[in-house]
């Protein structure tokens, strides 16, 4: 008598769309790279249990977990919609490293809100619209990072590559994808807080940067619609965040130099880092890049181990999905 929802990792910004472009990704080897939330009825008040590889990276007080805030918000919206509120037990399987640039908080937020919605749909014959759910997700992501940005929650929830539009009735539009591309994701095992990585960015930019930003994003979107892969990836340059954030990412500049000379289509910082992503349409190159990043980009702790990992991914067209009971 439970529902479980999986919500996938995502690449925020995708270099050219700071806060307005995001892509959901999934490893080709079938690894579930994302969080899973399970919701069931409770006879003993609302409860949250956190399990999984990265549970110990989250506050021990579950009321400080963003999933708890998601429950409070969801209940508030149920109340506003004159629905009966059930007591629930939520289990968060925290499979995503925190502060990784893989949209870890978005994974928890999306899995929690989509999970609660699936629970009410299945057992209480009530559900919110996709847009209402996305708005709740944006609100929760803003609570964590300090400002409203949908570039992780939208692709994580809806799948594919999502472009945020300034219309509250639409929020996100799906962009056509290059199906044959691999996204090699290298998480070095160190933590970078999204809020801190936002605080180091300038508050104003030069006219030259403004022109480059507009031209790159517009050219990328146009090239996606025309299916012009060469053009799309030739402009995947980040003038807003990478010049400032790369200074706090050990080994990032060397990795970019290697990957460019080795022929990747594009490379950049996933979200606010420290995860690096690079793009190729060649399976052998994807393997080669993954091998190099594994040996050269992962940070080794004093114990000689690394909490990092590398995954060869494809775009995840599905987004959040219910898992079989």
Ligand X SMILES: Nc1ncnc2c1ncn2[C@@H]1O[C@H](COP(=O)(O)OP(=O)(O)O)[C@@H](O)[C@H]1O
The listed partner (ligand X, ligand LJ64HWYM, none) that binds 67, CB under 5 to 8 Å by sort, is ligand X
User: Which of 73, 137, 184, 241 contacts ligand LJ64HWYM by CB under 6 A?
Assistant: 241
Position among 4, 38, 117, 194 found at the interface with ligand LJ64HWYM (CB under 6 A) = 194
Residue from 32, 98, 201, 248 binding ligand X (CB under 6 A): 98
Query: C-beta of 35: minimal distance to ligand LJ64HWYM in Å?
Result: 13
HSE (CB half, 13 Å, CA atoms) of 290? Answer: 18
Stretch that binds ligand LJ64HWYM, among 12-20, 68-76, 111-119, 280-288 (CB under 6 A): 12-20
Q: How far apart are CA 262 and CA 243, in angstroms?
A: 21
The answer to the question of whether 104 is labelled as a binding residue is yes
The residue from 33, 66, 116, 241 that contacts ligand X (CB under 6 A) is: 66
Residue 2, both tokens: 């439970």
234 annotated to a ligand binding site: no
Q: Of 216 and 272, which CB lies nearer to ligand X in the complex structure?
A: 272
Q: What is the number of alpha carbons within 13 Å of residue 159 lying toward its C-beta? A: 12
Q: Determine, following the binding rule CB under 6 A, whether residue 102 of this chain makes contact with ligand LJ64HWYM.
A: yes
Can you tell me the distance from the alpha carbon of 257 to that of 251, in angstroms, rounded to the nearest whole number? 10
CA-CA distance, 25 to 313, in Å (whole number)?
6
User: Judged by CB, which is closer to ligand LJ64HWYM: 88, or 274?
Assistant: 274
Neighbours of 306 (CB within 10 A): 16
Contact 9, 103 (CB under 8 A): yes
Of positions 143, 198, 288, 314, contacts ligand LJ64HWYM by CB under 6 A: 198
- DSSP string for residues in 228-248: -HHHHHHT---SSSHHHHGGG
Asked if 194 interacts with ligand X (CB under 6 A), we say: yes
Q: Rule CB under 6 A: say whether 38 interacts with ligand LJ64HWYM.
A: no
Residues 44-63 that bind ligand X (CB under 6 A): 58-59
* Residue 241 touches which member of ligand LJ64HWYM, ligand X, none, C-beta under 5-8 Å by kind: ligand LJ64HWYM
- How far, CA to CA in Å, does 323 sit from each of 47, 55, 188, 303? 21, 20, 29, 37
d(CA 156, CA 153): 5
Task: Select 104 or 117, whichever has its Cβ closest to ligand X.
Answer: 104
Cis link prior to 274 (omega < 30° from 0)?
Answer: yes
Among 115, 160, 268, 271, which residue interacts with ligand LJ64HWYM (rule: CB under 6 A)? 271
Count CB-CB contacts under 10 A for residue 291.
12
175 SS3 class: strand
125 φ/ψ angles, rounded to the nearest 5 degrees: 50, 40
Residues that bind ligand LJ64HWYM (CB under 6 A): 12-13, 18-19, 101-103, 149, 151-152, 194, 197-198, 241, 271-272
The residues of the shown chain that bind ligand X, judged by CB under 6 A, are: 58-59, 65-67, 98-101, 103-105, 108, 144-145, 193-194, 271-272
């Amino acid at each position: 008598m439970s529902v479980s929802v999986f919500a996938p990792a995502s690449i925020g910004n995708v270099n050219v769309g700071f806060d307005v472009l995001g892509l959901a990704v999934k490893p080709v080897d079938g690894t579930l790279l994302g969080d899973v939330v399970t919701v069931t009825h409770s006879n003993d008040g609302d409860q949250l249990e956190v399990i999984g590889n990265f549970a110990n990276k989250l506050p021990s007080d579950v009321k400080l977990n963003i999933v708890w805030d998601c429950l409070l918000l969801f209940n508030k919206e149920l109340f506003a919609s004159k629905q009966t509120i059930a007591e629930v037990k939520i289990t968060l399987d925290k499979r995503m490293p925190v502060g990784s640039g893989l949209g870890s908080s978005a994974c928890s937020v999306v899995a929690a809100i989509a999970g609660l919605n699936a629970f009410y749909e299945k057992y209480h014959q009530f559900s919110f619209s996709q847009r209402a759910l996305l708005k709740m997700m944006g609100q929760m992501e803003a609570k964590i990072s300090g400002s409203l940005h949908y570039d992780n929650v939208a692709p994580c929830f809806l799948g594919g590559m999502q472009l945020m539009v300034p219309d509250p009735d639409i929020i996100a539009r799906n962009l056509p994808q290059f199906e044959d591309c691999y996204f090699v994701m290298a998480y070095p095992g160190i933590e970078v807080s999204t809020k801190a990585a936002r605080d180091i960015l300038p508050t104003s930019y030069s006219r030259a940067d403004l022109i480059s930003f507009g031209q790159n994003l517009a050219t990328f979107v146009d090239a996606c619609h025309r299916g012009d892969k060469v053009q799309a990836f030739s402009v995947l340059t980040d003038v807003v965040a990478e010049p400032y954030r790369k200074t706090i990412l050990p080994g990032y500049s060397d990795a970019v130099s290697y990957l460019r000379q080795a022929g990747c289509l594009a490379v950049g910082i996933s979200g606010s880092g420290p995860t690096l992503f690079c793009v190729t349409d060649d399976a052998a190159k994807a393997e080669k890049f993954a091998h190099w990043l594994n040996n050269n980009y992962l940070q080794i702790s004093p114990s000689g181990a690394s909490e990092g990992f590398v995954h060869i991914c494809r775009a995840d067209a599905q987004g959040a999905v219910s898992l079989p009971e």
